[in-house]
A and B are shown apart, each in its own frame.
Chain A
């Protein structure tokens, strides 16, 4: 186990460096610079700006310096947000994205697993077809269509829920963003659970459990679910990546001050330290979470040996 973790870390760290280098390279290759705008600036001022941010040095010096700072987790100051430290911007916006993302994923797990198990237990029934069609619908409706439709119904027609804005944790404002974000995961998880459960329900150990006279409820909850949920566990790693892209859209629709919103603004503004900071942060989180999922997988499925 320990050897597996060390080996995975040995792959993970270079991967993170590759992501950061790639982003850095993209920023350098892209035409224009953060200080180029509508107005032409005088060459002396431009030279001053370049000297101030170290842009007059050769590329390898710039690269080395940037990487050195990032390895110490110091991303520098934002160029557009009044010189605020990137770390502070991330610390402020992360809780917003994380709250919406985690709540959405939990909701998706509960609803998805329930629906998927019911569909598998009543295979080829009306329930099965109905819920799988619904799941396909959930996969096919883009979240930027679903979100506004929910707003139209629940905020602008029924006046039940606020349509947008961040209002602290656990406020009514969170309901619509969380629903919008979780729809697609519910659908995926329901499909994965159904497939996994169908496979498991046919296996020998379920027949054994039934044969020794266990109640159907115990067979399903204690035996079948544990094996049937393995695909869902391995999906969680990938889901995290989806979750990040999903929050970008949801944050835009519902005007939430989260990481995704800042990433897009930073990319359009060429706010180099902020882009690098957010991308590195996301890459590190994502890869570490993937590692955690793999480790959890090993614990949950005793057949897997590393």
Chain B
């Protein structure tokens, strides 16, 4: 694969030709995009970090539990109030790997909590993005395909919603409907964040659909009697996938940031569960004495968002070479 890296910048719909001989290797759009992505060092770095953190947050907690017996909500019996252990210290205040990130006020292992927080933050990012994807793609595709008065009405509604101070509404919503269980609040968070982040997606998909719907393959589908919903979702939507994937990748960090922001304000994820935002909120209270309580979740989150943003940018360059300057 790496030997062909030099002649990548040809148009993506032009099949790559192998040596004149037995067969011609067709190069699909996705394969081409993948190669271009691998060429982008920052994007590869982003991909590696995101993959590492995702894997760590899912397999990490069981491993820690097996190795040391700590879970995210395990509180040792003998800790004094407000006694947080620094990183790399054992109970005897000697160098040890028992708590690589230290412990929090209740003596809970911060590494375990950061990994759980990662699990929840990534889940919120992913699920809310999926919710926004489903709403945005259907809405945009229907508006773009039907066109005319329906389209202008639907897009006017998007314009109106776009100008709303929606995060303010989300704050009010989460505060008012505050669920008594941590899980209930989490579900509320998925719905609220998904419901407000589909607008740009709808606009992007509509724009794509407008340019696709007059092409021959749609005409052919219509001529052979395919129903309108089927044309929209089987013929047109798959062709908008490139921009949709790029935008979805860039939505994930935005949603994660919103989640962290809400959890930081005490409106999102609640104890005993943790997210990076709620861990930061706990950490900030003792910043003068136990700075590691804030630094570890904060830096982990910043690193993840940084990587996701680079990955999104890299994907955009890879899937749409015309955009690159």
Contact = CB atoms under 8 A, between A and B. Distances in A.
Interface of A: 11-12, 14-15, 18-19, 22-23, 26-27, 30-31, 133, 136-137, 139-142, 144-145, 148-149, 151-152, 156, 198, 241, 244-245, 248-249, 252-253, 263-264, 267-268, 270, 275, 279, 282-283, 286-287, 290
Contact of A19 (B165, B295, B325): B165
Given A144-B264, A249-B264, A249-B265, A244 B168 contact: yes
Nearest to B263: A144
A149 B284 CA distance: 9
A279 B163 contact: no
Interface string B164-190: 110111011101111000000000000
A172 to B, nearest CB: 19
A294 to B, nearest CB: 11
B299 A26 contact: no
8 contacts: A14-B160, A26-B169, A140-B305, A141-B302, A141-B305, A148-B280, A264-B265, A282-B168
Given A15-B163, A142-B305, A245 B176 contact: no
Contacts of B175: 264, 267-268
Contacts of A151: 287
Interface of B: 42, 156, 159-160, 163-165, 167-169, 171-173, 175-178, 253, 257, 260-261, 264-265, 267, 277, 280-281, 283-284, 287-288, 291, 294-295, 298-299, 301-303, 305-306, 309-310, 313, 325
Given A270-B176, A282-B168, A139 B302 contact: no
B306 A140 contact: yes
Contacts of B287: 148, 151-152, 156
A31 B177 contact: yes
Contact of B291 (A23, A136, A152, A252): A152
A249 B305 CA distance: 18
Contacts of B165: 19, 241, 244, 279, 282-283, 286
A66 B285 CA distance: 39
A70 to B, nearest CB: 15
Nearest to A240: B165
B302 A142 contact: yes
Contacts of A149: 294-295, 298
A188 to B, nearest CB: 12
A135 to B, nearest CB: 10
Given A140-B306, A151-B287, A264-B265, A27 B176 contact: yes
B310 A136 contact: yes
Contact of B163 (A148, A244, A290): A290
A137 B287 CA distance: 22
Tell me the interface secondary structure of chain B in the complex: helix
A133 B306 CA distance: 9
Contacts of B284: 144, 148, 253
A267 to B, nearest CB: 3
Given A30-B177, A245-B261, A144 B280 contact: yes
B12 to A, nearest CB: 22
A263 B160 contact: no
B210 to A, nearest CB: 21
Nearest to A245: B167
B310 A26 contact: no
Nearest to B291: A152
B169 A145 contact: no
B325 A156 contact: no
Contact of A145 (B171, B298, B325): B298
Given A140-B302, A145-B280, A275-B172, 8 more contacts: A15-B160, A18-B164, A26-B176, A148-B284, A156-B288, A241-B167, A245-B167, A249-B261
Given A145-B294, A148-B284, A23 B172 contact: yes
Contact of A11 (B160, B294, B310): B160
Contacts of A141: 302, 305-306
Contacts of B265: 248-249, 252, 264
A290 to B, nearest CB: 6
A23 B283 CA distance: 32
A279 B172 contact: yes
- Among A23, A144, A148, A198, max chain B CB count under 10 A is at A144
A141 B306 CA distance: 8
B168 A136 contact: no
A151 B167 CA distance: 26
Given A136-B310, A156-B288, A267-B172, A283 B164 contact: yes
A149 B297 CA distance: 12
B183 to A, nearest CB: 17
B160 A145 contact: no
Q: Which 7 A-B pairs have the closest CB atoms?
A: A267-B175, A145-B298, A30-B176, A140-B306, A140-B305, A141-B302, A245-B167
Contact of A198 (B264, B281, B283, B325): B325
Nearest to A283: B165
